[in-house]
């Protein structure tokens, strides 16, 4: 794998407002261009061009019951918000996706292509025309209940009325009521009131520490900012707006201890005073704990155990960087996800591994940390990390008045702790011992939230698999990932809806494992097509849409 340079990353950051100014200039230039060349190649309309982009990338949150506070389902809603939409997508703020996609790629990314940003710009600059509303795509329908399907346990917090004017981080303790250990194979957080629940962290606690904090507070739950304020508690999962169910690959499970309290820390942003919520979590368990591989979730890179040049202390009016390093023991490890955690003055963080062969394995880089949009990120495939690799994290904290997220004005000294004015530097990983074939397990395909199928991943995948084609819909090219259980010849075919073959590609002896092929589809007229992969005795087929 290629190595990369980190030098640039820690050079003083351009203050955010300068980037905006630059954006405005670029935007002004674009604007001028659009209008000086008086004939636009094509009229951009909501019905034909913009609705598909919003339906694919925005309305999952921006629907009447969604987390995005306002709906973008109809033309008039998009029209009313057009300048704000244009600004948010041009500035890269919407859809929300903090990780730097030039550094590493994740499952279920929420990003727009440059061409889609351009389309939105063209639409707004061209007068935000509706086009023929009768030809607009059918709006997507969003289910309000669980997306996960069958489940074994539902835990609901007591109904709570927000009693704070500013941001509130409230922890609710729910005894699992389970006397025996279980292996969680899937879990879904279902916000009670999507308009006010901004993020949820789910922990298990067997120390009764959370229970005692709850008892000491008169109202339901108790208030704690960074985590749940109990050092022995373990993070199980996180939820931010737009998250679907958290489903582990087949045969994997997260251990839920007997008699554990499940604790949800919920962030209710300012402006939610007097609103009511009752969020719940549903769990699916493995029928039996035997034979299930246990997935750990731990802050392996940690301000307490492997911070270099510590302690984590950032004097008022200073900018500081810190590094953490941890060497894996002499066993190969499989990683499923990564979740960095800092508080408010953390500005950027990067995490990566270096293998004994000196390969750099990038995990995540967040250039503009936003505490409000922290989350866990699943890798596209389970990632194999060689034994004795070093894991690293580097983070920058800006405790000056220039940092718009600084909670203290004027800045005060900041040190390690749980409260709003303290800081943390943690990188959580979901991990397990490596088994041969783990790196072939594709995580993206378990996303039922976007309507794709869940595949059966045992330790060894025994038959040809064709994963979802991407990007889909597309106008320029389409990529196919497929898995071959053994090395074989392959025929790839694209057909139209009438079954007419438009393209065939025959390849000799493709090596077992996952293969990616990309096809230029820019010459195909808009419509629905089918791509098939054939190994002689087995054939798999998937549809894609050309816009």
- Contact code string over 272-301 relative to ligand HEC, x by CB under 6 A: ------------------------------
Alpha-carbon distance values, 48 to 38, 131, 216, 477 (Å): 21, 7, 57, 19
How far is residue 473's CA from residue 545's CA, in Å, rounded to a whole number? 5
Q: Which of 49, 62, 267, 381 binds ligand HEC (CB under 6 A)?
A: 62
Distance CA 354, CA 359 (A): 5
Q: Which stretch binds ligand HEC (CB under 6 A): 11-19, 63-71, 148-156, 479-487?
A: 63-71
Of 191 and 340, nearer to ligand HEC (C-beta) is 191
Cα gap 449→429, rounded to integer Å: 23
**CB nearer ligand HEC, residue 55 or residue 457:** 55
Which residue, 63 or 534, has its beta carbon nearer to ligand HEC?
63
Those residues whose C-beta lies under 8 Å from the C-beta of residue 392, and which sit 6 or more positions away, are 301, 323, 324, 325, 351, 352, 353, 354
**Integer Cα distance of 246 and 53 in angstroms:** 25
Of 50, 61, 148, 466, the one binding ligand HEC by CB under 6 A: 61
- Measured CA to CA, the distance from residue 119 to residue 135 in angstroms comes to 18
Contact 169, 225 (CB under 8 A): yes
For 404, residues 6+ apart whose C-beta sits below 8 A from its C-beta are 16
- Interface pick for ligand HEC out of 51, 89, 425, 427 (rule CB under 6 A): 89
Decide if residue 110 touches ligand HEC (CB under 6 A). Answer: yes
Task: Indicate whether 196 belongs to the interface with ligand HEC (CB under 6 A).
Answer: no
Determine how many CB atoms are found less than 10 A away from the CB of residue 437.
16
Q: Which of 183, 166, 120 is nearest to 269 (CA)?
A: 166
68: contact with ligand HEC by CB under 6 A? yes
> In the stretch 31-60, what mask flags binding to ligand HEC with x, by CB under 6 A?
--------------------------xx-x
108/284 with CB nearer ligand HEC: 108
Among 3, 43, 76, 84, binds ligand HEC (CB under 6 A): 84
Which residue number, 96 or 229, has a Cβ lying nearer to ligand HEC? 96
| Window 311-370: residues binding ligand HEC (CB under 6 A) | none
**Binding to ligand HEC, residues 365-384 (CB under 6 A):** 372
Binding positions for ligand HEC, 458-487, rule CB under 6 A: none
Q: For residues 97 and 397, which CB has a smaller minimum distance to ligand HEC in the complex?
A: 97
Choices 80-88, 166-174, 476-484, 486-494 (CB under 6 A): range interacting with ligand HEC: 80-88
Interatomic CA distance for residues 175 and 263, integer angstroms: 8
Find the part of the chain contacting ligand HEC (CB under 6 A) among 23-31, 91-99, 353-361, 484-492.
91-99
Report, in Å, the least distance between residue 228 CB and ligand HEC: 22
Of 197 and 353, the one with the shorter C-beta distance to ligand HEC is 197
Does 81 sit near ligand HEC (CB under 6 A)?
A: yes
Query: How many chain residues bind ligand HEC (CB under 6 A)?
Result: 21
- Tell me how far apart the 2 most distant CA atoms of the chain are, in Å: 72
Are 221 and 214 within 8 A, CB to CB? yes
CA–CA separation, 154 and 282 (whole Å): 4
Q: How far is the CB of 392 from ligand HEC (least distance, A)?
A: 29
Does position 194 bind ligand HEC by CB under 6 A? no
The answer to whether the bond into 95 is cis (omega within 30° of 0) is yes
| CB of 272 vs ligand HEC, minimal distance in Å | 12
Q: Specify the residue, 62 or 303, whose C-beta has the smaller distance to ligand HEC.
A: 62
Q: Are 545 and 527 in contact (CB under 8 A)?
A: yes
* Interactions with ligand HEC, residue window 217-246 (CB under 6 A): 241-242
Closest CA to 335 of 392, 384, 276: 384
User: Shortest Cβ distance from residue 62 to ligand HEC (Å)?
Assistant: 6
The answer to whether 327 touches 353, Cβ cutoff 8 Å, is: no
Nearer to ligand HEC, 90 or 534 (CB): 90
> Cβ of 309: how many Cβ atoms within 10 Å?
9
Which residue, 85 or 478, is less far from ligand HEC as judged by CB? 85
**For the purposes of burial, counting CB atoms within 10 Å of the CB of 228, is it exposed (0-12), middle (13-18) or buried (19 or more)?**
buried
- Could you count the other beta carbons within 10 Å of the beta carbon of residue 86? 18
> Tokens 């300068």 belong to which residue?
18
Residues that bind ligand HEC (CB under 6 A): 57-58, 60-62, 67-69, 81, 84-85, 88-89, 94-96, 110, 112, 241-242, 372
């Amino acid at each position: 794998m290629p190595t990369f340079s980190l030098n640039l990353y820690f050079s003083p950051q351009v203050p955010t407002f300068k980037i905006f100014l630059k954006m405005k200039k670029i935007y002004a230039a674009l604007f001028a261009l659009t209008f000086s060349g008086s004939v636009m190649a094509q009229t951009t309309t909501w019905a034909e061009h913009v609705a598909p982009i919003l339906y694919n990338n925005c309305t999952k949150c921006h629907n009447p019951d969604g987390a995005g506070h306002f709906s973008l389902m109809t033309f008039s809603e998009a029209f009313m918000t057009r300048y704000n939409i244009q600004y948010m997508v041009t500035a890269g703020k919407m859809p929300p996706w903090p990780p730097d996609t030039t550094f590493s790629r994740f499952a279920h990314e929420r990003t727009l292509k440059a061409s889609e940003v351009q389309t939105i710009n063209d639409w707004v600059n061209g007068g935000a025309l509706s086009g023929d509303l009768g030809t607009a795509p059918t709006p997507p329908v969003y289910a309000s209940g669980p997306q996960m399907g069958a489940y074994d346990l539902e835990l609901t917090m007591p109904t709570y009325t927000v009693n704070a004017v500013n941001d509130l981080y409230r922890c609710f303790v729910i005894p699992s009521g389970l006397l025996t250990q279980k292996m969680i194979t899937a879990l879904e957080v279902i916000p009670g009131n999507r308009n006010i629940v901004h993020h949820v962290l789910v922990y298990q606690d067997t120390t009764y520490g959370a229970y005692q904090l709850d008892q000491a507070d008169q109202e339901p739950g108790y208030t704690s900012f960074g985590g749940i304020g109990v050092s022995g508690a373990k993070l199980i999962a996180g939820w931010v707006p737009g998250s679907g169910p958290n489903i582990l690959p087949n045969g994997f499970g997260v251990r839920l201890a007997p008699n554990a309290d499940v604790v949800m820390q919920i962030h209710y942003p300012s402006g939610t005073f007097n609103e009511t919520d009752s969020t719940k979590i549903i769990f699916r368990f493995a029928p039996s704990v035997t034979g299930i591989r246990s997935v750990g979730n731990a802050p392996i890179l940690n301000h307490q155990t492997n911070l270099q040049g510590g302690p984590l202390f950032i004097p008022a009016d200073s900018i500081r960087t810190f590094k953490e390093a941890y060497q894996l023991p002499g066993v190969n490890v499989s990683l499923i996800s990564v979740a960095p955690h800092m508080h408010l003055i953390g500005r950027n963080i990067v995490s990566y591994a270096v293998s004994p062969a000196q390969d750099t394995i990038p995990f995540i880089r967040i250039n503009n940390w936003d505490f409000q949009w922290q989350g866990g990120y699943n890798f596209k495939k389970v990632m194999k990390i060689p034994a004795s690799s070093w894991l690293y994290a580097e983070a920058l904290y800006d405790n000056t008045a220039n940092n718009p997220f600084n909670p203290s004005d004027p800045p005060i000294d900041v040190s390690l702790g749980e409260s709003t004015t303290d800081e943390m530097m943690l990188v959580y990983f979901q991990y397990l011992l490596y088994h041969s074939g783990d790196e072939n397990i594709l995580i993206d395909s378990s996303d039922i939230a976007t309507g794709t199928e869940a595949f059966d991943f045992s330790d060894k995948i025994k038959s040809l698999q064709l994963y979802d084609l991407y990007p889909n819909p597309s106008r320029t090219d389409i990529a196919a990932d497929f898995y071959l259980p053994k090395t074989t010849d392959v025929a790839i075919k694209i057909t139209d809806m009438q079954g007419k073959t438009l393209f065939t590609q025959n390849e000799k002896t493709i090596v077992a494992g996952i293969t990616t092929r990309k096809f230029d589809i820019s010459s195909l007229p808009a419509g629905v097509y089918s791509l098939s992969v054939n190994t002689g005795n087995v054939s798999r087929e998937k549809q894609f849409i050309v816009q």
